[in-house]
Amino acid sequence: MSSFTKAASPAAVAFDPGWKTILECAAIEVFEMMASVRPELNSASTGEPTGEVTAMVGLAGALCGMTTLRCTKTTAARFAALMLGEAAASDPSSSGDALGELCNMVAGNFKAKISTLADHCMLSVPTVITGADYSVEASEPTEGILVPLLFEGQPLWVSLVIHT
């Protein structure tokens, strides 16, 4: 038996609607650090996120759920170019890698900002989905936060879905 399985399970942390501000801050900080850009909050956004590329990072432990980052292929390619060099923009796997890493960093930065989660919540390896015609179904009950952003005039969405 590993030391991880011997340890007591961390106490579950209840969802807090105030986390939206923390998630916004975490996302903007990551984009500034990793891609040297500052997306704007998109207060005009309505409806569900759209786009052909979605990166997901799972959360387990004191908080169970998923962080996602969704945008168009063009936006994902732009992030790849900013993070990995212009040649990466034409490589779909580089776009997925860049978006997956951004999502991973946003999830990590978010949980680090909440003392009850920092050391009590694990992150999964990022998963990237390409294609626009899908929906994510989560087991009930859930709570969620959606942060709509604009980058170079294009929408992107950061979300946090928590299983309560």
* Rounded CA separation 135/80 (Å): 25
Q: Give the pLDDT of residue 91.
A: 87
* Rounded CA separation 77/159 (Å): 20
* Rounded CA separation 98/163 (Å): 27
Which H or E element spans position 95? Answer: helix 92-112
pTM, full prediction: 0.90
Q: Give the pLDDT of residue 8.
A: 60
**CB 149, CB 41: distance < 8 Å:** yes
Q: pLDDT per residue over 19-32, tens digit each?
A: 999 999 999 999 99
Homologous superfamily of 18-33+50-163? CheC-like (3.40.1550.10)
Q: What residue ranges of the chain have pLDDT lower than 50?
A: 1
Q: Give the pLDDT of residue 21.
A: 97
Boundaries of every domain in the chain: 18-33+50-163
Percent of the chain surpassing pLDDT 70: 94
Q: Give the pLDDT of residue 1.
A: 46
Q: Give the pLDDT of residue 4.
A: 52
The one-letter code for the residue type at 34 is: M
